[in-house]
Chain A
């Protein structure tokens, strides 16, 4: 792990040797990084090899559809795209409500390839965007960690990130989701922040705000950056680490970053209006005050300074109080205190389950369990504390940032499973540092104690990454422009180094000797170091095995096509696409399809049919309407659907083959969300002993609701007993007929069932007279949901 990057203490006699070593080390790191990139890319291809090159899950289908639109119609049409295929009859302004980073990235890649006459389909580009960006992310991790603890730690962290299961779960080939590019953007932004902090270069500060802009384009998680960096700045100020570099790293980011962020339509004025961004502005003010104070301190004599302080503090406090009071009043006037629901549920983990069932119903918004930590970051969980300790030895600006990053992300990951993704890079970086430092110490002491090693090697051993980091901190404190520029691993710094190396040779040798002495004291016994090295290697091997297993088995299933292994080979359940293909070819192009919102994106993308609700859960009422329809009896449901112009109703049913995430298992959310808006749906009506049951113990409301009926219609004829393999019971009501719906398609394994709304029946003579007076009242009282007797029968 001894990464031979720029060694600061170069002795003239060792000079040629060192340049060779530098060159060799540079080439070696380059190839290692290349291999890490290949590893990060190829470990994510299990899904393509085991299944096929296909878009996964739900959200990626929407992103894929948007990308298709972008490539077909161009960027201007995309910004103005009003999508009338979703949220019927409301529609959705896609251009103004999506984070466009992912689609623009994939669209650009596609455009570039096509202008080179490489005819790849949009789908292929979308499928492979995530693996490509995870390679980028591991390179960004290398850069970031290198800023903190040198190249050795950087390479280790990059390897760890390339195969961390948590990140793999969101970036396997086909998982075309925002997080795939956002994690790269996140790490890269942090890298540029630290780079600016270490160099004080305005160039990197500008790049940093551009990277931040890309992050804002890509993912709503950008608020993490705009809160974490101010926190770090504040920490630096409080701990007396304020410097002009800190100012350069922060002030341009806030100004440029906020301006750029406001350019993204989905963010817009939120970039200055909402409380998520409030912290950054507050710290922006504070850093200016601090900068001003430092400036004054530099000009005035200590005595004058004290007078000035007392003067300013009294005036300043009054002004501050006034400003803060105004701000608080402003914030308090908005109902959610200026915070969005998802952010609030981060601060108060119980918020969502109390107020917004729609957020709570998404499994990835649940808090994680302990095993999921082990599953997602595996041995990193044990290495993280060691890494944090390593960050404190010695504490620099950069390493304090890492400590802050890991601390906050651990908290956030504890609130939402989904944010495990933010934790993963932090865990990789700290573990990378820990592993690298440990290897450093252990190999150092082995080298020291082996008899055959010359004194020359001892000096070399002293020049490992810990040395560089130490040197770094020295320089940081010295704050000489020469020293800081020397820290840059560029060709220019090497030239400078050459000059430097000639100047103080004596000093350097003395330093090296002192180092060697120090090393001798720190050295561990040979056996202990060998054994610990072996143990570390075993630990690493365990991580690799686990990651490969996770990539191959746990996270590669596209969920659109399922497979099971039975004795007579692989069995494929391709029912979803069967249903979507049927819808797309055999229904009218303008027909509306109602289903629970999970299947909305897929229906629009694969079947190209208008849906009532989809996975973008922005309108609670609309989802509640569908939930109410699904939990109402047939007639009332028919009326709701009819009023929404729905022609087909799609339900997912796993009872025949034992597919657990079907609509009956999601039914409690339909009742809860529906009942939240339409109070006539009462959850207790569906519960028997506090449980949703569909067997003979089920409540009559349950047995009569539309979801039950559509799922189990004629189910009994398959095996004669109507045994539900998911709920492991026989269903409660086996023989029933549908009066307002007719089955038009059921897939091969019964996983998707599509029903058509029957048109109103012609009036039968004789009965027509009787119900004539009633007709007007029923047609007007649509969606009333009251159980009226059907006048048409």
Chain B
């Protein structure tokens, strides 16, 4: 319920902010970034960029909108952006979640860029400063080079970026740290001062960079972490008021790293595990809710026998292995299904509605999903479905007919593109349902049998013969 109100409030705030922005669209140039620190984590194929900005208002008026700039390529691969305001000093810091929205700047900047605006909770008065923490998550951003590798080779990738942070503001001092998964770095472009220690490359500190200053760099390094990508995940959550929630997940999995080239030799793969197929992967781990039951793992040609399920009172872990190890470019499809007790996920709200509270996300750990579709199949006879999701998704309604349905079940379809594990959060679907509908199908069956017996009795007692 709280989440519901919060969502409404945020929606109202957003609308208000948008209106506000449209009414005064002058560039907010009154900020100066006194210190910026960027930490880029390249250890997997999901790239996390932590940006710590110390923003100072040098203008005359109070202002509450800080603009971030990203290159168009970055925006194409951006899965999520998140901002926090840090308050307090030293150890007693608290962080406040801030609203971030994509925006357009009216005056043509000297460089092609896309913008996001952070809306500060309290306007920053002239001369004051605040610390913002921004998290960017990028996917499909590492470019394998060479694009095709043989079984024994390890995977090298390019990371492109700029040594100077792209920003519409003047940055007084900035530093960038790039963390690579191993010490094997083929090459990287130096922009002095540049320093490489172990798995970390440090660019900077650079002093007094004017707005929109860039300095392209690339890092070419070894990254053998599995580039497991779910191209499409369709999750179907079917609610039965008889006490069960049935979840069926259809996966299309692909290894999005450097493509496999030439021979796949099983003998090499089995005997020399470390030097061979270093970038391939075999095991996947799915974290399922506690009290999960009747779990199955199969594909279109039958059961896949290589899986293990571990359950305890808090969570269940399903370790699965696709039919074959996945090398670069190889695909696999499979289905995971399980049942869950209804009372853990379905609740009644105060206004006589019911709601499903479920995790929006992919149970496979560390998985990027290009297109995630969640279908919530409500029981037959339920009305007024309304989903509440903490981030923007496309949603629509469908109908589905299953097990002796007459009028069909309402299906709430939610679609999200570019899903990363950081998105994992709960969502709710509210609906009204009259429990009398639960009895519809048993009654139907009973009456059908009754009719059948009546017909039998009638047949026995009616003499249809012409001759007496």
| Interface residues of A, Cβ cutoff 8 Å to B | 52, 54, 116-119, 491-492, 495, 560-561, 572, 574, 577-578, 580-582, 585-586, 606, 714, 717-718, 742-748, 750
Contact = CB atoms under 8 A, between A and B. Distances in A.
Contact of A574 (B266, B304, B403, B405): B304
Nearest to B462: A491
B450 interface: no
4 tightest A-B contacts by CB?
Answer: A746-B266, A54-B302, A572-B305, A52-B303
A746 B460 CA distance: 65
Contacts of B264: 743-746
Contacts of A119: 401-403
B404 A585 contact: no
A581 B401 contact: no
B324 A743 contact: no
Contacts of B196: none
Nearest to B321: A748
Interface string B438-466: 00000000000000000000001001010
Nearest to B331: A585
B263 A574 contact: no
Contacts of B303: 52, 54, 561
A47 to B, nearest CB: 12
Contacts of A572: 305-306
Interface in B359-407: 401-406
Interface residues of B, number: 32
Interface string B276-320: 000000000000000000000011011111100000000000000
B302 A561 contact: yes
A577 B324 contact: no
Contacts of A560: 302
B332 interface: yes
A54 B405 CA distance: 27
B302 A585 contact: no
Contacts of A577: 301-302, 323
B405 A117 contact: yes
B399 to A, nearest CB: 11
B302 A747 contact: no
B94 to A, nearest CB: 49
Contacts of B405: 117
Given A119-B402, A491-B460, A561 B330 contact: no
A580 to B, nearest CB: 6
A117 B301 contact: no
A581 B323 contact: yes
Tell me whether chain A's interface is mostly helix, strand or loop, or mixed.
mixed
16 contacts: A52-B302, A54-B301, A117-B406, A118-B403, A491-B463, A561-B305, A574-B323, A577-B323, A578-B323, A581-B301, A582-B323, A585-B330, A714-B267, A717-B271, A745-B266, A748-B324
Contacts of A585: 330-333
B332 A492 contact: no
Interface of B: 262-267, 270-271, 298-299, 301-306, 323-324, 329-333, 401-406, 460, 463, 465
A586 B330 contact: yes
Contact of A580 (B266, B301, B331, B401): B301
Contacts of A491: 460, 463
Given A54-B303, A581-B332, A742-B263, A747 B460 contact: no
Contact of B265 (A492, A574, A580, A714): A714
A582 B402 CA distance: 32
Given A743-B263, A747-B324, A581 B403 contact: no
A744 B263 contact: yes
Contact of B404 (A54, A118, A561): A118
A492 B301 contact: no
Contacts of A54: 301-303
A746 B271 CA distance: 14
A342 B369 CA distance: 55
A118 B331 CA distance: 32
A117 B263 contact: no
B463 A492 contact: yes
A747 B266 contact: yes
A580 B323 CA distance: 10
A73 B465 CA distance: 44
Contacts of B406: 117
A747 B271 CA distance: 14
Nearest to B464: A492
A63 B324 CA distance: 27
Contacts of A586: 329-331
A33 to B, nearest CB: 15
A582 B465 CA distance: 64
A583 B286 CA distance: 26
Given A582-B324, A745-B264, A747-B324, A574 B401 contact: no
A355 to B, nearest CB: 38
B124 to A, nearest CB: 54
Contacts of B465: 492
A714 B265 CA distance: 9
B328 to A, nearest CB: 11
A750 B406 CA distance: 50
A747 B322 CA distance: 12
Nearest to A495: B463
Given A117-B402, A118-B403, A717-B267, 14 more contacts: A117-B405, A117-B406, A119-B402, A491-B463, A492-B463, A581-B299, A581-B324, A581-B332, A718-B267, A743-B263, A743-B264, A744-B264, A745-B264, A745-B266
